[in-house]
């Protein structure tokens, strides 16, 4: 933990986020009316603003993915996956990158290393 955060912590955190979002998504799909939810969101300006803000955050993360990935196929895949599933895709991406790290790599390698 040279830079204040450990790879182990990140693995635990992104696993928690992934499990939480999959659980929440399953519950919402099984218990909600999607059409009614979309209509209620569209009619509430604060929710629209929150979703736009969230989308911009996803795009900020995607810019980093674009930097890391050299393959256009992977860049397009991750763009679609992040836009479609948000935190689920982000958690999966991070868990893949964290799993591929070698024992001597640290957070700088994760952030600045390219594929």
Task: Please give the pLDDT value at position 102.
Answer: 85
| Averaged pLDDT, 80-95 | 97
User: For the whole model, what pTM was predicted?
Assistant: 0.86
Using one digit for the tens of pLDDT, what is the confidence trace for 44-53?
899 889 999 9
**Mean of all residue pLDDT scores within the chain:** 91
| Averaged pLDDT, 21-47 | 86
Instruction: Kindly write down the DSSP assignment for every residue of 56-82, as one continuous string.
Output: HHHHHHHHHHHHH---HHHHHHHHHHH
């Amino acid at each position: 933990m040279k830079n204040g955060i450990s790879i182990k912590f990140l693995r635990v955190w992104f696993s928690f986020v992934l499990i939480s979002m999959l659980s929440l998504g399953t519950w919402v799909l099984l218990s909600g009316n999607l059409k009614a939810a979309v209509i209620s969101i569209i009619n509430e300006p604060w929710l629209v603003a929150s979703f736009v803000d969230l989308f911009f955050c996803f795009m900020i993360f995607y810019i980093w993915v674009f930097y890391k990935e050299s393959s256009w196929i992977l860049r397009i895949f991750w763009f679609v996956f992040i836009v479609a599933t948000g935190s689920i895709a982000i958690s999966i991406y991070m868990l893949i990158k964290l799993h591929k790290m070698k024992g001597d790599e640290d957070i700088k390698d994760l952030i600045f290393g390219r594929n």
